[in-house]
Amino acid sequence: MLKLQDLTKAYRTDEVETVALNNVNIEIEHGEFVAIMGPSGCGKSTLLNIIGMLDTPTSGHYFFQDEDVAGYSEAQLGVIRKQHIGFIFQSFNLIDELSVAENIELALLYHDIPASERKERVAAVMDKVGIAHRAKHMPSQLSGGQQQRVAVARAVVGNQSMILADEPTGNLDTAHGQEVMEMLQQLNEEGTTIVMVTHSPSHADYARRTINLLDGHVVTESMRA
Amino acid sequence: MLLTNYFVSAWRNIYKHKLFSAINILGLAIGLASCILIALFVRDEISYDKFWSNADNMYRVHLTFNVPGRDPMKLAMAPGPVIHAWKKDFPQVTHASRLSQREPTVIIGDRYFVDDITLVDPDFPEIFDLNAVSGDLTNAFIGFDNIVLNETLANKYFGSKQAVGQIITLDFGSFQRDYNVAAVIKDMPKNSQVIPKALITIDEPAWKEQPWMFDAWFSTNAQLYFKLSDTTNIESINRELPAFVNRNFPKIPIGGDNVKNSDLIIMSTMNVKDLHLAPSRDGEYQDRGNKNTVMIFATVATLILIIAAINFMNLSTARASQRAKEVSLRKVMGASRKDLIVQFLGESVLLTFFGLLIALAIVEIALPKYNEILDKTFSIDYGSSDVLYIIILAISVGILGGSYPAFFLSHFRPAENLKANKSAETKASVKLRYALVILQFSVSITLFVSTAVVYGQMLYAKNMDLGYNTDNVLAVHEISRDVVQKKLPLLVEEIKRMPNVSAVTWSDFTPGRANQNNTIVHVEGQSNEDGILIGSRGIGYDYFNAYDVPIIAGREYSRERGDRDVSTDDLRNGINYTGSIMINESAIGRLGLGSPQEAVGKLIFAGAGQPEENLTATYEIIGVVPDIHFDSLKSTIRPEIYEIHADYGNAISARFSGDPEELVENVRRLWEQEIPSIPFDYSFIREAVARQYNAEQGQANMFAAFSALAILIACLGLYGLASFTADRRTKEIGIRKVMGASVFDVVKLLVWQFSKPVIIANLIAWPISYYAMSIWLENFVYRIEAFFIIGFCLLAGIAALLIAWGTVAGNSVRVASANPINALRYE
């Protein structure tokens, strides 16, 4: 699905250069569930942002479905991103002024999909994540777990082949965290590639492979039996 | 201490939020500057003739001729003999004086000048305040050989020499007399309808050769002012006026016995303080103001200030969330709501004062140009109460703009704002902001449309086919003076011979300089009493050729064919003959003479001399011309006859091609050689005609400038609001971008957000503009069609949208291009 080759990301301020990722080589197959772990500041989020094409590497190659996207412009990346990648954030990032259904629909809005089809797909995905009865509610009226379920629905409604989750359970209690993890697992079993950044070893256990980062390097990779 | 803290906090807030402060200060500065400039104009307009010590009791007599079938002739003047009857019939009048402005040749030694000299009656200084600089005013108006000069004229004639005691010769044409300078007075204030430069006393017997000047009941050449005793009400005179007319005026020979003079002649009085803003009448000596204009500008000033204040409200509440924390902290530290309101109001007043400083700088920079446009000498006197008014203005604006934000910001509850990242925005405050933006743009669009209509009308009036060609005609004035009159044939012939001159003619009027002469005319089979009042103008040979007027039927006057006018003296001496006459289309219509072709060859009869003489001149129509707008377009076309004045006139007109300056130089040389005693005076007809609309042009420019400023301030506000809103929506934009929205999608979203209020504003502004401007257009006899207003509305709508988009788009692109991860990573 994707392959990172000698990937480096450096942030440059006036005088100091901070290397967030240093010569990272990672390959992720289609249908994998990968967890990325590591202490704060190790470059997890940077890695996820680059994989999600929200950020571009300083050097190295990023092959997405055999296409080297490392040098692509923001607009080019946007096109690939909206077709293939869904996002789930720790802080849910729902738009406060839009209802649950409208928030989910947002992921289809920029895809040239007719309104009637959008409605059907939104309804279907709300059923799937068990949020249909809340369709007209505003995000502020939902619990954290419900909000994250809306975010998951939004991430998959466009039939994205890969979901990037940045600490999806970080703002949730244990029970709700569990719920979200099971949902991701189910999606993975249905064929969606999932890359997740997490601090929680127990949630990392849902993944079949764990990549540990430290100071911008991949230190270990472990496969679940 | 607390005050220092407020001040420091206010200053830091202003300094820290540079965009916010800059927009507010700049908006307020432009708003205040506009307001001050307009206030100077309005104050001047309403100050006219209020400074006279007798102002409350000073009146002018007005006369309106209600001519059947025509626009009434509204005169600022009264016939010469009225003054004597007035003083006799109304004992409550303590003083009365006529005022007649003449342009005699002023001769001082071997030097010649042409200046306005005002002829008055001895009561004049009892009515109007005069301030003597030198000499003595007590005897200045006794006898008929004293002259009083203002400082400007005294200086012009005598320089640094003592003017009092000098001798000045005035040549009025019919007589010439030496005058002794009795006193020099201060120049009269400009905000007056009475601004004489030099004064002499009317000597009626000296004018016996020109009885129409002061001795004719149906000729008006002087205004009449009077002073009422302190104890009487003007109504006591007003209600007597119809009886006064019937008692004193000779019977007008129109309509027979059942038409009384008071049906045709309406006399009225007007207090001097009201003169300037009342509708202009024929025979004014000074330009009139316009009440509507004053009201309109006062409104515009208020609207501009409101727009600037709205900016302040909107921007303050928009960034309320940024200040919510400060409010909460202050409250936790013990500040009451009142303390906070005082603090925020203080801040807005402080901002307004920064704006005021810039505003005063703008005013000082703009004043010279402003004065030039309006032909005024406005200035701000920093040592007077002006300063107080300006400060009160600034404080009012500061409080007006600061009150809502102050109450809004101070209501935050500390617990809510300190705890979470909850937005301090409420739906109500967002809605109010939208409503205010809609209000701003409604006002701006209305001003835009109004400006467009005013300009459209100006352009229409300027380019309207007047019926004659104003281009490339040089007019040479002062021809009526005795010395010049004798040389008229010579001047005409010499100018004709000059290179590039195609036609030369003369006339007793020049287009663009109002001059009303009227005659009662009737056709065969009617008596004098059935006649209608028709305008009459005197012209020379070749006149219509020179002015490019086509002859519809018949022909123009020709010396060869022996066309001649009917001389009143011949009639008095019993010599009767048929003269030639040219006539316009309206006149043949009013006289019922059929088609222009049918009219040619028919006879008409015109009253001559004074009505009481009962003289009738007979004319044969030799030519018909179309209706021509020789007068301002503010008046309708009137029926007119054109008499041939074979050897006299007031001005020579020459049609030329090529370099106008060269012709002027040639004519000047000729003039100075032939008539060295009279200064050469010329004008171009095109400019003279355009000058009639100078005041309107100046006011239109002023209106346009202030409308543009109003729109600019509204846009400044929109820019600020857009940038704050875009910042506030950063997270949303980030999410949308992650969901696949392109930069264009986001810009579209933000721009549309601000298009909505502008579109709604259009829907509000259009009907208002349409209604208001249709009414305004009704002031003009010849005006653009009302559907043009609709066009201007659409234009304004598109312009407003484009301006709004341009204002918002820059910000939107910046925010839309930002990398979404910055917005999404941390809350």
ipTM of the complex: 0.81
Residue A53 in tokens: 């094409």
Interchain contact, B732 vs A107, CB within 8 Å: no
- State the DSSP H helix or E strand holding residue B720, giving kind and residue range, or none if neither: helix B694-728
Q: Please name the member of A95, A110, A158 whose beta carbon is closest to the beta carbon of B732.
A: A95
Most confidently predicted of A1-5, A202-206, B621-625: B621-625
Find the residue in B nearest to A45 (Cα). B825
Q: Chain B, 522-541: which have a CB under 8 Å from a chain A CB? A: none
Q: How far apart are alpha carbons B591 and B532 in whole angstroms?
A: 8
Q: Number of Cβ pairs closer than 8 Å across A and B?
A: 52
- Taking residue B152's Cβ as centre, other Cβ atoms within 10 Å add up to 14
Q: Which two tokens stand for residue B41?
A: 């104009």
Name the residue among B423, B739, B825 with its Cβ closest to that of A110: B739
Burial of B69 (0-12, 13-18, 19+ CB in 10 A): exposed
> How far is residue B459 CA from its own chain's centroid?
16
A111 touches chain B (CB under 8 A): yes
How many C-beta neighbours within 10 Å does residue A126 have?
21
Whether the pLDDT of residue A65 is over 80: the answer is yes
User: Angle formed by the axes of helices B488-497 and B660-674, to 10°?
Assistant: 140
Q: Which of residues 163-222 of A touch B (CB under 8 A)?
A: none
- Taking the CA atoms of A187, A190, A194 and A196 in sequence, report the sign of the dihedral they define: positive
Positive or negative: CA dihedral B206, B212, B218, B223? negative
b/e for B466-503, b at 16 or more Cβ within 10 A? bbbebebbbbbbbbebeebeeebeebbebbeeeeebeb
Residues lower than pLDDT 70 in chain B: 1-3, 69-70, 255, 321, 413-426, 513-515, 611, 823-827
Question: What is the predicted pLDDT for the residue at B817?
Answer: 79
Tell me which residue of B459, B441, B645 sits closest to B542, measured CA to CA: B645
Q: Check residue B481 and give its pLDDT.
A: 80
Whether A75 sits inside 8 A of B743 (CB atoms) is yes
Own/partner long-range contacts of A113-118 (Cβ < 8 Å, ≥24 apart): none
CB contact under 8 A, B824 and A89: yes
**How many other C-beta atoms are found inside a 10 Å radius of the C-beta of residue B205?**
9
Helix (H, G, I), strand (E, B) or coil at B781: coil
pLDDT at B827: 40
Over the stretch B286-336, which tens digit does the pLDDT of each residue have? 888 888 888 888 988 888 988 988 888 888 777 776 777 777 777 777 778
d(CA B221, CA B747): 70
Q: Residue B653's pLDDT is what?
A: 95
Residue B321 DSSP SS3: helix
* Residue B92 in tokens: 């409550």
DSSP letter string, B16-64:
HSHHHHHHHHHHHHHHHHHHHHHHHHHHHHHTTT--STTGGGEEEEEEE
Task: Using CB atoms within 10 Å of the CB of residue B24, give its burial: 0 to 12 exposed, 13 to 18 middle, 19+ buried.
Answer: buried
Beta strand B73-75 pairing with B58-65: antiparallel
Tell whether B239 is within 8 A of chain A (Cβ): no
Residue ranges of the alpha helices (H) in A110-195?
Answer: 115-129, 144-156, 174-189
Torsion angle in degrees (nearest 10) through CA of B523, B528, B533, B538: 70
A-chain residues near B738 (CB < 8 A): 52, 54, 81, 87, 93
Instruction: Point out the residue among B731, B734, B741 whose CB comes nearest to the CB of A110.
Output: B741
**Is B822 within 8 Å of chain A by CB?**
no
Q: Could you give the 3-state DSSP secondary structure of residue A223? A: strand
In terms of Cβ atoms closer than 10 Å to its own Cβ (0-12, 13-18, 19+), residue B819 is: middle
Name every residue whose Cβ is closer than 8 Å to that of residue B760 and which is 6 or more positions away in sequence.
Answer: B438
> In chain A, what residues touch B742 (CB-CB under 8 Å)?
75, 78, 110
Indicate the average pLDDT of chain A: 87
Rounded distance, CA B803 to CA B708, Å?
12
pLDDT given for residue B416 in this prediction: 57
3-state secondary structure of B317: helix
Q: Distance between alpha carbon A97 and the CA centroid of its chain, in Å?
A: 23
List the single residue in B740, B819, B824 with the smallest CB-CB distance to A110: B740
Residues of A in contact with B731 (CB under 8 A): 93, 95
Question: The tokens of A130 are what?
Answer: 């068990």
B820 CB within 8 Å of a chain A CB = yes
**Contact (CB<8Å) B742/A110:** yes
A216 backbone φψ class: left, alpha, beta (φ>0; ψ -120 to 50): left
Q: Which of A96, A97, A111 sits opposite B740 (nearest CB)?
A: A111
Q: Write out B746-773 in H/E/C secondary structure.
A: HHHHHHHHHHHHHHHHHHHHHHHHHHHH
| Tokens of residue A104, six digits | 């989910």
E-assigned strand segments in B66-202:
73-75, 93-102, 105-108, 111-114, 117-120, 132-135, 146-150, 167-171, 176-185, 198-201
d(Cα B13, Cα B6) in Å, to the nearest integer? 10
Encoded tokens for B734 = 């980030």
Helix (H, G, I), strand (E, B) or coil at B717: helix
| Beta pairing partners, B581 | B621
**Beta carbons of B739 and A154 less than 8 Å apart:** yes
Question: What per-residue confidence (pLDDT) applies to B419?
Answer: 45
Given CB atoms, is A49 within the 8 Å cutoff of chain B? yes
Judged by DSSP in three states, B130 sits in coil
SS3 B342: helix
Token pair for B475: 């007019």
Q: What is the pLDDT of residue B723?
A: 78
Nearest neighbour of A78 by CB, restricted to B423, B734, B740: B740
A52, A91, A107 ranked by CB distance to B739: nearest: A107
- For residues A199 and A167, is the Cβ–Cβ distance under 8 A? yes
Spell out the alpha helix ranges (H) of B600-693.
660-674, 685-691
Rounded Cα gap, residues A171 and A182, in angstroms:
16
Task: Enumerate the residues of chain A whose CB falls inside 8 A of the CB of residue B743.
Answer: 75
The pLDDT of residue B83: 96
Question: Residue B762: which residues within 8 A CB-CB, separation 6 or more?
Answer: B441, B445, B793, B796, B797, B800
Residue with tokens 């704006």: B355
Distance between CA atoms of residues B98 and B86, nearest Å: 11
Nearest chain B residue to A156 by CA distance is: B739
- Please give the Cα distance from B254 to B267 (Å, whole number): 18
Interface probe, candidates B427, B431, B738, chain A, greatest A C-beta count within 10 A: B738
Contact A109 B741 (CB under 8 A): yes
For A148-187, the pLDDT digits (tens) are 889 989 988 888 899 999 888 888 888 888 888 998 999 9
In which element (H, E) is residue B154 found?
Answer: helix B151-158
This prediction has a pTM of 0.76
Strands B58-65 and B265-271: antiparallel
- The CA distance from A163 to A156, in Å, is 8
Instruction: Count Cβ atoms below 10 Å from residue B188 Cβ, excluding itself.
Output: 17
Give chain B's length: 827
**Three-state SS for B425?**
coil
Residue B267: per-residue pLDDT: 96
Tally of residues, chain A: 225
The string of DSSP letters for A20-69 reads: EEEEEEEEE-TT-EEEEE-STTSSHHHHHHHHTTSS--SEEEEEETTEE-
Q: Which contiguous run of DSSP H or E holds residue B421?
A: none
